[in-house]
């Protein structure tokens, strides 16, 4: 699994675990840090930590090695570094404050995700 396929897989794991406001961006033309960024929110610190665990478990099953992670103890802003993909999972308050989309969304690089992002009933 590579590139867009991995992005879709990670986003699907987040969606299935009830993450909010999932956004995937192709940042290859904007930075050398990574090729893709996925940004999502959890409702509280416990959900943020659970989303982190779920993504890491799913990627380990795919053979994708986690290079580094930050913030999992606090559950306010967790970053998972999979080399070409950075996954940011925020508590809703931090997401609103840092507004990463503002920095990395150039208006043309949002990736269409394969699931319906309307609020689950």
Query: What is the tens place of the pLDDT at every residue in 69-110?
Result: 999 889 999 999 999 999 999 999 999 999 998 999 998 999
Q: Tokens 């959900």 correspond to what residue?
A: 47
Q: What is the pTM (predicted TM-score) of this model?
A: 0.91
pLDDT in tens, 10-39: 999 999 999 999 999 999 999 999 999 999
Task: Convert the pLDDT of each residue in 99-112 to its tens digit.
Answer: 998 999 998 999 99
Domains of the chain: 3-104 (3.30.460.10)
54 phi and psi angles, rounded to 5 deg = -65, -45
Q: How many other C-beta atoms lie within 10 A of the C-beta of residue 54?
A: 17
Contacts of 44 (CB under 8 A, 6+ apart): 75, 91
């Amino acid at each position: 699994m590579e590139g867009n396929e991995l992005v879709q897989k990670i986003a699907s794991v987040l969606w299935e675990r009830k993450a909010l406001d999932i956004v995937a961006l192709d940042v290859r033309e904007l930075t050398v840090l990574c090729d893709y960024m996925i940004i999502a929110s959890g409702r509280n610190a416990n959900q943020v930590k659970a989303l982190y665990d779920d993504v890491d478990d799913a990627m380990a099953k795919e053979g994708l090695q986690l290079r580094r992670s930050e913030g999992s103890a606090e559950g306010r802003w967790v970053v998972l570094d999979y080399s070409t993909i950075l996954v940011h999972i925020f508590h809703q308050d931090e997401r609103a404050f840092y507004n990463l989309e503002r920095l990395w969304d150039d208006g043309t690089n949002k990736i269409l995700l394969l699931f319906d992002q309307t609020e689950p009933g």
